[in-house]
Structure 1
Amino acid sequence: MTSRPLRLVIFDVDGTLVDSQADILAAMAHAFDRAGHPVPPRETVLGIVGLSLDVAVARLAPALDPGRHGQMVDWYKEAYMELRAQSGAAQSSPLYPGALEAIETLHAIPDVLLGVATGKSRRGLDKLLDAHDLRRYFVTQQVSDHHPSKPHPSMLQAALSETGVAPDCTVMIGDTSFDMEMAHAAGITGIGVSWGYHPREHLHHAARVIDDFSQLPACLDLLWEKAS
């Protein structure tokens, strides 16, 4: 009997595992207010979630100069940290229903490794993982500090290198077009989730789109069965 190859499941964070939109919107509004610039609509701000913060701010305020963008990044971070400190990371960024159960179920499978690839900073991800006691589940953790912004495939390429898992045995799970484009660029299958910050119709490169975490194990089994 031949053993199955190692599988790797990589999760996006904001909009996929946790719902951090309230703090994201409030912190971005603060940054734009400080800059004296009109705050973009809610849908526009949520549309850039997943990008690295410097790229996101430049995209939201293209008329402003790079120096002002840098200030806005700092103002955003200050506001976000203050909001998180007020209520705690677990409250300000709650897990979506079924997220923990899905993580625990996959983690219990001997030949499945788990990872994250996020536009968050190392510090931001550490705070979140510790608040939800999730750190032990993820063997590879890719953050914006060390990579170009999504959808560049650098994060996923690093995850493959760290784990030694082949691209065709790897799946990226995310809520945005940036996640699906990143997976496509890395030669990895993308699974979209419908509960996040990009509408379903924007997840063009997703092999599947799920509506609930309870659908994830069967979706993975189907994809891996086809790949084997």
Structure 2
Amino acid sequence: MALQGIILDVDGTLVLSNDAHAQAWVDAFAESGYDVPFDKVRSLIGMGGDQLMPKIIPGLTDEEGDGKVISKRRKELIINHYGPTLAATKGARELISHMQQAGLKLIIASSATSEELKVLLKAAQVDELLKDVETTSSNDADASKPAPDIVEAALNKIQLEPSQVVMLGDTPYDIESAKGAEVGVIALRCGGFDDTQLAGALAIYDDPADLLAHYEQSPLAN
């Protein structure tokens, strides 16, 4: 089927936030007495917090105890401290505008909470462009990435078949999540993962600007 829709990841795809998310986790863990190396967290960014936390500290959950405190504090740090300092990925606004002009139906699929998403889209300088676009957030999924729930929720909202959409993402967890929902992914290196880690994507580009420059040769043109 002809391409009709785009499922948009946000962190690392539209905004350079992956390092900030990792540091917010490190800071939040430290405030609760856990010494966690940045690199250990950074490799897991792209997972939802409910999946990431027990991989860092086995037994912790964001539902209770220290894990709940850490999860809340990480969110506060992104919204109030790191979020306002973030920059858009190169070409993010221009790519979004081009896809809209091409008549593609866009939907945002992020594991972020709605409060975080507002901050992130503003930092990406696409909040006005996407103000009328439907979103899925952590509230729409029983399990976060790399589970397929968030992509499946986006498909339900956008009312398109998997073969009619492509997801834009930047982490191996986006690819795994989309694969579980039978959706192909165009991956971007600007999230900090290399081509080996992004194996399984339909195509890989440096950033939104690179994808836009090669738009006519990309899966978006098919």
How would you bin the TM-score normalised by the shorter chain? 0.7 to 0.9
- Name 2:151's counterpart in structure 1: 156
Question: What displacement does 1:160 show?
Answer: 1.7
1:118 to 90, 110, 119: 110
Tell me whether 1:187 sits opposite 2:182 in the alignment.
yes
Given the alignment, which residue of 11, 16, 29 partners 1:14?
A: 11
Q: CA deviation at 1:73?
A: 0.9
1:73 to 35, 46, 71: 71
- On the 8 A contact 1:51/1:178 being kept in 2, the answer is yes
Q: CA deviation at 1:219?
A: 5.0
Question: Following TM superposition, by how much is the alpha carbon of 1:63 offset from its aligned partner in structure 2, in angstroms?
Answer: 5.8
5+ long unaligned stretches in structure 2: none
The answer on whether the counterparts of 2:11 and 2:120 sit within 8 Å (CA) in structure 1 is no
Question: Could you tell me which amino acid in structure 2 is paired with residue 46 of structure 1?
Answer: R
Matches within 5 A, 1:134-213: 134-137=127-130, 139-147=133-141, 148-213=143-208
Q: TM-score, normalised by structure 2?
A: 0.85
Alpha-carbon displacement from aligned partner over 1:159-203 (angstroms, at most 9, x marks no partner)? 222222221120011111110011111111111111213222111
How far 1:133 sits from its partner (Å)?
4.6
CA distance, structure 2, for counterparts of residue 81 and residue 130 of structure 1 = 11
Distance 1:59 1:36, change over 3 A: same
Where do 1:93-112 residues align within 5 Å?
93-110=86-103, 112=104
Once the two structures are superposed, residues 26-77 of structure 1 have per-residue CA deviations (whole angstroms, 9 ceiling, x without a partner) of 322221212222122x332222222222322221122657622222112222
2:34 match: secondary structure = coil
Q: Which structure's relative contact order is higher, taking Cα pairs within 8 Å and 6+ residues apart?
A: 2
Checking the alignment, whether the CA contact within 8 Å between 2:28 and 2:70 is kept in structure 1 is yes
CA contact (8 A) 1:54 1:70 kept: no
CA distance in structure 1 between the aligned counterparts of 2:50 and 2:179, rounded to whole angstroms: 23
Q: Is the 8 A contact 1:52 1:119 kept in 2?
A: yes
Give me the identity figure in percent: 28
- Output the CA distance in 1 between the equivalents of 2:20 and 2:116: 13
Aligned pair count reads 216
Distance in 2, matches of 1:219 and 1:61, equals 42
CA 1:32–1:99 in structure 2 vs 1: closer, same or farther (change >3 Å)? same
* 8 Å CA contact retained: 1:20, 1:92: no
